[in-house]
Amino acid sequence: MTSPSPVDLLRAIAYPLTESRVLVPLVFFWLLVSFASWGGLLGLFLMFLILPALIRYQMILLAARARGVTPEVPGIEFFNWFGRTWTLFPVFVVVFLGWATTEAAEGFGIAGMLVMLSIAGVFFPASIAVLAITHSPLQSLNPAALGRFLVRTRATYWIAVLTLIVFSWLSISAEALPMMLAVLAQLLLSFSFFSLAGSLIEPYGLIEDIELPAAMQQDASTAMEVLEKKRANALSHAYGFISRGNRDGGLRHALAWIQEDPDPAAGRAWFLERMLAWDDPQAALVFAQHCIHDHLEYGEQVPAVKLIMRCRLIDERFRPFPGDMQAAIAACDVADNHALAASLRHY
């Protein structure tokens, strides 16, 4: 493996400025962080919302450059502290390294701080690279996985370490600039580092390397993330119908999509949980009637009874579809819930 040319390195560093799908998020985050820096308590709350999206996007950027593709544009789901949790793990790594450096400085003075900074400079790029490859926080801390990565990339890894040191110094120096310029410089340096780190991985093909143990194990996790995103898109489409007064059309769309779900039962439960969180539960209750119908059709009597009870806590008038009433009453008797069976018989 030959070292990249200076032109290749400059192209990777400048990538956030030359690729519009990265430049636009960079400007967007710059404006948000700048506004949060002015906002007092409101700014602190806004920063709490911004942080997961900012960290997550930079990890997505690194992983995309490691595959040689353009990163996806961040959506509203990027601002969630849950989902794709592996992308947020660098926060904990940075916090730990910062704490360890402070403790080393207090215990051993400047020499201790410099030693800890050197360790952090070597460890951090490898850790986030392995994290991008495996999507596993544990593997990003695993000495064996890190060792394999360093052996494979030894010809160019020093470039990432040197860049991290220089960019960190530049980022600290940028604090002397006016606030908005400082934020812009620091974000640009950070985006450029993650871009460079991913670009240095790409020639090795490590993003598909099965020798890093968690890579294959994460296939199911990645597939689940993709499936959940598809479910969210379908639910959003259904909500668009329902919010405009077309409840039947929205529910038909959701039910039709669930038929294409690789796990319809899990998909049905996923949709129901999110619909029940809406301000108006009526659509969710109608959707629950469909779920109860499916439970009864497949002989799932106890889950059907539990769902009926849950829906009656929301609306005591709730009942299954008329065509399912006798089967629902029989399910209540089987589940020894005679009070509910008696209540349903009154309809």
Whether 291 and 164 map to the same domain: the answer is no
Q: Give the 3-state secondary structure of 231-267.
A: HHHHHHHHHHHHHCCCHHHHHHHHHHHHHHCCCHHHH
d(CA 153, CA 206): 9
Q: How far is CA 208 from the centre of its chain?
A: 20
- Quick one: tokens of 347? 């309809």
Residue 1 domain-assigned (yes or no) = no
Q: Answer with the one of 168, 184, 212 that is the final residue of a domain.
A: 212
Residue 211 burial (CB count, 10 A): 10
Q: What is the number of domains present in the chain?
A: 2
Whether 166 and 259 map to the same domain: the answer is no
Of 97, 28, 21, nearest to 65 by C-alpha is: 21
4 pLDDT above the threshold of 80: no
Whether 282 and 205 map to the same domain: the answer is no
Residue 325 domain-assigned (yes or no) = yes
Least confident segment among 24-38, 75-89, 166-180: 75-89
Whether 208 and 230 map to the same domain: the answer is no
d(CA 259, CA 301): 21
**What is the pLDDT at residue 48?**
80
Whether 262 and 139 map to the same domain: the answer is no
Q: Answer with the one of 193, 212, 231 that is the final residue of a domain.
A: 212
Whether 176 and 314 map to the same domain: the answer is no
Residue 269 domain-assigned (yes or no) = yes
Whether 164 and 230 map to the same domain: the answer is no
211 pLDDT above the threshold of 60: no
**pLDDT tens-digit series, residues 108-119:** 888 888 888 888
Whether 187 and 229 map to the same domain: the answer is no
Whether 95 and 205 map to the same domain: the answer is yes
d(CA 329, CA 334): 9
Q: Answer with the one of 212, 240, 256 that is the final residue of a domain.
A: 212
**pLDDT tens-digit series, residues 12-56:** 999 999 998 899 999 999 998 888 888 667 777 778 888 888 888
d(CA 232, CA 274): 9
Residue 340 domain-assigned (yes or no) = yes
Give the residue carrying structure tokens 């390397």.
Answer: 209
Range of the domain at 268: 219-345
**pLDDT tens-digit series, residues 265-308:** 888 999 999 998 888 889 999 999 999 998 998 888 999 999 99
Whether 126 and 245 map to the same domain: the answer is no
**What is the pLDDT at residue 222?**
67
Whether 331 and 235 map to the same domain: the answer is yes
pTM over 0.75: no
Residue 304 domain-assigned (yes or no) = yes
Whether 318 and 203 map to the same domain: the answer is no
210 pLDDT above the threshold of 60: no
Q: Where are the beta strands (DSSP E) in the chain?
A: none
